[in-house]
A and B are shown apart, each in its own frame.
Chain A
């Protein structure tokens, strides 16, 4: 340990630290500067960017000893006192440039350095300056806008009432732009015991432990080793009933590279020098089944003895007679489409800490599903539910993977065993190796059409590689056949899916649950059908588009709310304009070719034919404060803002009058998981009902009519109606056990009906709809594809908050673009953010968002879900644009330069 002195945000600091240690760790753990975020420890993500003597540096690449005597600035310090950073903070908030907020410190610090050097930068200068910071939520466009605006003339922020339909800046945004937001790794006290998981280095391996007690005894500072024997309850978890097949610690065999077999707990000092290779375990590598083909082959070892043929489960939707319709079709196209694992790549790795006290265990961690975590942990720990408390931290991106348990069981078991608080942050490599992925897909699809351009027969078979454990694999298997038609009228339809276990990381939930994969096959073949029929691709889609009153492939008929036709029609002006412009461009260019592509998508909001309730509670204190227990996890998408806007509108108060209480399971009821595009719809409805109920309760006390206006003051509610004003003196009301004098708690569960053996029924109460158009430029000599601009039409029923809608759309498009062009996770080879590529700020072009509001009778104020819809059409639109530009047929994503060039050459032969 050396004594290290430097200036941190203008204040002299002197700490005792290891000088070889990363500056990021010393700033966070020794200086309390937890606004410095750690996303990769490798300079790949830029989240830890700080200024050293004014120059941007990745704190994770800087030896702490090197800042001796120098000046270090971080986001919190800058936002507090630097006028440039203050302007940036305001602009980030106003533009919605911070969603989850985990990249915001890196972005703002890098942008501060830029604005100091170039006070009014243009877009290119902003991109160059922020190119070293990755964001997975926003799609970067709003970040560029915010930085350009911060360098522009000062403009007073326009007044936004916050009413439903207004672009209210996110209510939880100030903490994110000021460096105060606390994520999974930001809440444990310094000095907390640290945990390290021992994971299989092989895709399939037996293992035997050496002398574990001897290991602990021989290593001062190591306080415990955990294995399957330490799991107090059931050593199995999973998110779908009947598929709880993942152990906390493997017992006999590790089933994928990254499978946990043990954990080591020790002091920070001991863990800093702990070499996992020295852990006493002997591996016996066994032959893995890495593909569904290998896993299904006769004689292949079963991953789970109750799943014959390694088939996890399947799904099926059949309607009409697909074979007959295909045989009478005038034109039939077919194709085999493949995709690989896609990594969620949120910038916040899984992190948290657990503490055991008074016979209970508390887990403070990032999650998308606090009550599911609570239920699963109770089983693992052998404790009743009320002895497990989940206190979610802010979530630095989720996109589906943080629906599953990851570090929580290790932490809870360790806290119970040691009696001390225990923390962990997954390293980037560990996060990528061990947590869920998007399912690789292998889809065969045939679609027929009649000469007049009507679909005649649709035959889909999709194999999904679900990895070693089920996770959300059954959901993917069920969802895909329901959605594979796209938002079209397909009378004769057969869609069958299968999920196959392999020795890979578990594939689970990722924005779209398999639908983005199936949409690629369907929408690409639709373009081929249109071409064979000599029809304009947009016109072909409109001829088949789903409308009010026409049955879906499940036989579900929506009398209202089907907005896909409106979305497609909204693209018509851009479609006509861009097709004409690309024709002109292509006539003048040989090597560079441009193309325009479009694709549509739909997604059913909420669980598929299963109960899916959300409960929202609110109460009024005697002092007049309104507390909203907002249990819908905000993972950056904006539930804290949208749910509050809906509740406030229903109650009849300004949203600013609300105080939000977070999703702590001790105080806030279950608003379900943040998944399946359900929070605005389902929790939004619960919030609306809760707001209405609380309003009714107030009106009852005042004996006032429904149109009365409410005004909250200290200790009093004024209820103004035609008959006069009534004052409710809140001090006269008896508070309940929680201190509320008035309270409401309402639940909403979307009406659905079960699916029969042929998938016929009513799987969802509502769908949301989307259509994307993209212009791409293809370098035909190198196979490089550069999207130049998107036009995205989304039917959201009612945009509760248009600013957040645009944020979802832009961020979803960036993820769809990544899936289309660059992202493929290969176990053991791309376990970092420089071999696994996600789009940077220079890769996402402008996005024009067109909001279509086809109100839905079930939605709160007509609103529909949006979270998944935003990336479903993106990848097929890009592939269709590449085809339009070059004739290349791409059947496998990502469309990397080598694949694109090969397809271009094939098309030319």
Chain B
């Protein structure tokens, strides 16, 4: 039984090319999936790769290392456009989980209820996948294919999440709904990002919701309804109806009924927009 702990991404990719190893980043999904079952003989631990951690800015925007933990994201000095992502980071599981769990792990686990996904969708995040053959960049919505299913190919690792630059006055909000305060898998969650224009109106809006479809979805009809509206205080009253939720396909599960999710997500969207109306007002 071996645990390979390479120090560089290149070494990790070489090991992965030799044999298809299960990958451990934070371990917060790897071990629970094996509760009461034997552990694999060998695994690849990414936590020792310095280059996969941390958040950096370059000419094109922000680069979040794949193995950056939720705690690191929550504590990072980031512009307000990242507020939804940072809020989501604080809502993932518990401090123990946030200290271990990584942003790319959240994506690769591909849970429909992954807290990190709606904020990243509103940030137009791009997933950088590396292999010995080189690097591919996929829009997050192209990376996530369905529950527990991603576009990651054998031999590939996610190396970073890339976020294009946003105007400094963009604001973002996150709302999570669960049946208890901590350690809770979302019934639904919503991220909203708004870019204002010089006249105090919405120049661009991005709205994404999770746990209400096989993968988290943007809501283009809601976004369209927001564009051009004055920021505050009327933003919260932006009219959009049930039809705006057409991209969603909520299911009944142990956490809530589909019908409830449909109602709740609309309410969460309204509240997140109201949060932002307040943020611009303030």
Contacts and interface: CB of A to CB of B under 8 A. Distances in A.
Interface of A: 1-2, 18-22, 40-44, 46, 49, 55-58, 60-66, 68, 110, 127-129, 131-134, 272-276, 427-430, 781-784, 821-822, 824, 826, 829-830, 832, 834-835, 837, 839-843, 896-898, 901-902
Nearest to A23: B27
Contacts of B24: 20, 63
A427 B34 CA distance: 11
A239 B28 CA distance: 40
Contacts of A131: 94-95, 181-183
Given A134-B183, A832-B35, A20 B95 contact: no
Contacts of A832: 32, 35
B79 to A, nearest CB: 24
Contact of A42 (B31, B40, B177, B259): B31
Nearest to A433: B36
Given A61-B26, A821-B179, A20 B42 contact: yes
Interface in B69-120: 71, 93-97, 99-100
Given A275-B37, A897-B256, A22 B183 contact: no
A22 B31 contact: yes
A61 B263 contact: no
Contacts of B257: 898
B182 A901 contact: no
B26 A132 contact: no
Contacts of A40: 35
Contact of A842 (B41, B177, B181, B263): B181
Given A44-B183, A46-B94, A840-B180, A901 B263 contact: yes
A837 B39 CA distance: 26
Contact of A835 (B31, B94, B254, B256): B254
Interface of B: 1-3, 5, 24, 26-28, 30-32, 35-43, 45, 47-48, 71, 93-97, 99-100, 177, 179-185, 187, 254-257, 259-260, 263-264, 267-268
A126 to B, nearest CB: 12
Contacts of B100: 43, 57-58, 61-62
Contacts, number: 174
* Contact residues of B: prevailing secondary structure: loop
Contacts of B99: 55-57
A42 B47 contact: no
B38 A273 contact: yes
16 contacts: A19-B3, A44-B183, A58-B97, A61-B28, A62-B27, A63-B3, A66-B47, A131-B182, A134-B183, A428-B36, A832-B35, A834-B184, A843-B181, A897-B179, A897-B260, A898-B256
A203 to B, nearest CB: 17
Contacts of B259: 898
A176 B184 CA distance: 28
B45 A63 contact: yes
Contacts of A2: 2-3
Contacts of B35: 40-42, 427-429, 832
B180 to A, nearest CB: 5
Contacts of B30: 61
Contact of B179 (A19, A134, A837): A837
Contacts of A824: 254
Given A782-B264, A902-B260, A58 B96 contact: yes
A525 to B, nearest CB: 26
Nearest to B40: A20
Given A20-B40, A41-B31, 10 more contacts: A21-B39, A41-B36, A43-B28, A43-B100, A63-B3, A134-B183, A427-B36, A782-B177, A832-B32, A832-B35
A44 B71 CA distance: 18
B96 A49 contact: yes
A42 B27 CA distance: 10
A128 B95 contact: yes
A655 B194 CA distance: 67
Given A20-B40, A22-B31, A63-B27, A129 B180 contact: no
